[in-house]
Structure 1
Amino acid sequence: MNKVIISKEVDPAYNLALEEELLRNLKDNENILYLWQNDRTVVIGRNQNPYSECNLDYMKENNIKLVRRISGGGTVFHDLGNLNFTFLTKEADANLEKQLKVIIDGIKKLGLVAEISGRNDLLIDNKKFSGHAFYSEDGNYFHHGTIMIDINLNELSKSLNPSKLKLQSKGIKSVRSRVVNLKDLDKKIDSNSVKEALINGFSKVYGQVSNIKEYSKEEYIPSHFQKYNDRKWNFGESPNYNITLERKFSIGNVEINLDIVNGIIEDCKIFTDSLMLVDLNKIQECLKGIEFNEEVIIEIIEGYM
């Protein structure tokens, strides 16, 4: 049975929760094409460190969300100029060639010629417009990815450039690529035309679609919705790492060296060029054992200045 699921929501927590629920409830002989769009969001891979992948200060200033997905791979920026797709099937029936054919044939219907690069990317004229990741659990499988249609490349660049922190991480770092929007290649292309092309390609490659269903918060809340809104999931799943924050306080320049384990500050060492005597040991002990949150750390230190 072949189904198309479309999310009417642009909340990344909702869309990723729905994706996970579709995966866990997949039936035998079921093939699903799930199409979804997120408002301005940075999505990190399961084993990535947001502090080394993103400019969190810029994201906060511009109300850009951060969410962690369950699949591996690199960090991506989503906005409404981006269309996300997910192919869901039993792992035994997973066929990457067929899934890529759906996309390549759909893009061809729009007048563009795409080519495969490695296992994870699709290119046009050697520029990436689509990146992919994969996940399987208990015999169920999905292959999901992005299609850049008219994404804000300026926000993408600023969001995915980490702020200038000295950071050593054991996480998996993303590799930046040359990218292109489909709309830059043909002004007539928009998210609706790409959706239609993918649905047609899906029915052509997999066979007749039995139904097309839309989901929204008014009709249905996935069981994993709160998980993707949880700071512990989005930040606390980060690998262990060391980070150095440098800030100018009223007493002078302060350097804060932190050892982070599972999102918790395990050790801390503070240095300053201040001429004033400040009890740094007391600050260090106060920071140990709390969840890493840059704002909270700065507030605590300011309280001692």
Structure 2
Amino acid sequence: MAQFQRSFFRTTSMVTRLNTRCYSKTDYANEKNIKKSVFISQSKDVYTNLALQQWLFKNFDFTNHHVLMLWQNDPSVVIGMEQNPWLETNYSELNNLGVQLARRSSNGEAFYEDNGTLNLSFFSSKERYNSRYNMEIISRGIFREFGCKTDLNSADDLLLRNNKQFSGKSAKIGQSNSYHYCSIMVRVNKINENLLLQPHGVDIQSVKNRDIKKMNLCEENPQVSVDSAMQAIGWEFLRSKALSLKDGGLNQANQQRGFHLINPTEGWFPGITEIRDNYASWQWCYGKTPVFDITQTFTVPGDLIDQKTGSSAQLKVTMTVEKGKISDITLFVPYGFTALGFTGEAKVIHNLKGKKFSIEAFNDLEDSLGVLLDDRDKFVTECLKQVMTCA
């Protein structure tokens, strides 16, 4: 116990140094008036839980009531508001494994989640948003219950031994409310995570570094489960003062509003169905994607090249995608291809513009064109299909 107290004191001292939120004497005087609740969602549907998070953000009054929302999702990849699903994921494998793709309404990186992931959102008023406080609640709860020592890096990521990361984060700050979201790898299927968070092999602009070393919390302590982590962090949240991170123990926890099992349905949260349907829509998941280009180069078969120009040539295809739909296709055509009468405007190109960037839409178009395609058109069509196989 003495060793724990010394370690805990060091952690608390570090929090004091790192805490970037400054409160007035009046704020601290009113700290006792702020009550806390832990909401545990009974749904594992990723779109429903995103809708619940948004419903609380839009409709709840957090002025004197801070809420920690906890939940699990069935296998899914959740991307940030401004992210590109074709850049962040191996989309063809998402379909093969039946994993849902969802887009948050907050910023942050892409996460793979399954029933081995613990999701947390700390809700407060805008003025009391404090990400460092929230991460220290998680860190203290894990240490108190499981003895796992964690560190925070400069980006507010939680690290285990050898600086391996086991958390992800995002945030949303509105006019009056805010939330700080965090996902914790407890027993995540890392094979699926590594497979699904790799983009397709085409040349997409701005591919980022994916060399972050990660590990599950259960690799540090095999006794950890998502349920036990929920309980540990939930109790840490309830027993801690609302602003100062002082440990008030059982007496502080008993003064709070406790744990609540939440059923995110229309009867409990009027309007949540409409929010959920929006999060599940193609327009939200894909139509919100920023403009991007995909480029691939293909070797033209010899029988389609004027042999006087040489034995080989390459066709370069650049496809521009805007709001999830194809807005332009540019072909860089080798001279030997044009010498045989190809003009660069294959029949399939005109028909693809305005279509969803998906292989399903392409296959439907290819079937409708059928015998209208000559050999050169068929070659270009196959090149475009390969570009779109990432969709």
1:291 Cα deviation from its structure 2 partner: 2.2
Q: Tell me the TM-score normalized by structure 1.
A: 0.89
Asked if the contact 2:88/2:199 (under 8 Å) is kept, the reply is yes
Partner of 1:260: 321
1:55 Cα deviation from its structure 2 partner: 0.2
Letter in structure 2 aligned against 1:119: A
Asked if 1:50 is matched to 2:97, the reply is no
SS in 2 for 1:226: helix
Asked if the contact 1:258/1:267 (under 8 Å) is kept, the reply is yes
Runs of 4+ in 1 over 6 A off after TM superposition: 245-248, 251-255, 271-279
Per-residue CA deviations over 1:54-79 (Å, capped at 9, x if unaligned) read 00001100101110101111111001
Asked if the contact 2:205/2:292 (under 8 Å) is kept, the reply is yes
1:295 Cα deviation from its structure 2 partner: 2.4
Change (3 A) 1:174 1:93: farther
Change (3 A) 1:254 1:42: farther
1:255 Cα deviation from its structure 2 partner: 6.7
Asked if 1:25 is matched to 2:76, the reply is no
What is the alpha-carbon distance in structure 2 between the residues aligned to residue 68 and residue 173 of structure 1? Answer: 19
1:299 Cα deviation from its structure 2 partner: 3.7
What is the alpha-carbon distance in structure 2 between the residues aligned to residue 67 and residue 101 of structure 1? Answer: 28
Asked if the contact 1:80/1:151 (under 8 Å) is kept, the reply is yes
* Richer in helix (by share): 2
Q: Find 1:214's aligned residue among 261, 266, 291.
A: 261
Asked if 1:118 is matched to 2:154, the reply is yes
SS in 1 for 2:320: strand
Partner of 1:165: 202
Asked if 1:34 is matched to 2:84, the reply is no
Identity of aligned residues (%): 27
1:228 Cα deviation from its structure 2 partner: 1.1
What is the alpha-carbon distance in structure 2 between the residues aligned to residue 111 and residue 282 of structure 1? Answer: 65
Asked if the contact 2:169/2:182 (under 8 Å) is kept, the reply is yes
Partner of 2:115: 80
Change (3 A) 1:133 1:175: farther
Asked if the contact 2:52/2:264 (under 8 Å) is kept, the reply is no
1:223-238 equivalence runs, <5 A: 223-238=274-289
What is the alpha-carbon distance in structure 1 between the residues aligned to residue 297 and residue 169 of structure 2? Answer: 36
Q: Find 1:301's aligned residue among 366, 379, 391.
A: 366
Asked if 1:71 is matched to 2:124, the reply is no
Letter in structure 2 aligned against 1:53: E
Coordinate RMSD, CA, aligned: 2.7
What is the alpha-carbon distance in structure 1 between the residues aligned to residue 178 and residue 91 of structure 2? Answer: 31
1:272 Cα deviation from its structure 2 partner: 9.0
Based on CA coordinates, which of the two structures has the bigger radius of gyration? Answer: 2
What is the alpha-carbon distance in structure 2 between the residues aligned to residue 105 and residue 121 of structure 1? Answer: 14
Letter in structure 1 aligned against 2:259: I
1:130-209 equivalence runs, <5 A: 130-168=167-205, 173=208, 175-205=210-240, 206=242, 207-208=252-253, 209=256
Kindly indicate whether structure 1 or structure 2 has the higher relative contact order, using CA contacts under 8 Å at least 6 residues apart.
1
Asked if the contact 1:26/1:90 (under 8 Å) is kept, the reply is no
SS in 1 for 2:234: helix
Q: Find 1:5's aligned residue among 1, 25, 39.
A: 39
1:82 Cα deviation from its structure 2 partner: 0.6
Change (3 A) 1:272 1:26: same
What is the alpha-carbon distance in structure 1 between the residues aligned to residue 344 and residue 211 of structure 2? Answer: 43
Change (3 A) 1:286 1:3: same
* Richer in strand (by share): 1
- Between 1:269-278 and 1:146-155, the stretch displaced more is 269-278
Letter in structure 2 aligned against 1:210: R
Q: Tell me the TM-score normalized by structure 2.
A: 0.70
SS in 2 for 1:128: coil
SS in 1 for 2:78: strand
Per-residue CA deviations over 1:28-74 (Å, capped at 9, x if unaligned) read 21200000111111111111111111000011001011101011111
SS in 1 for 2:350: helix
What is the alpha-carbon distance in structure 1 between the residues aligned to residue 289 and residue 298 of structure 2? Answer: 23
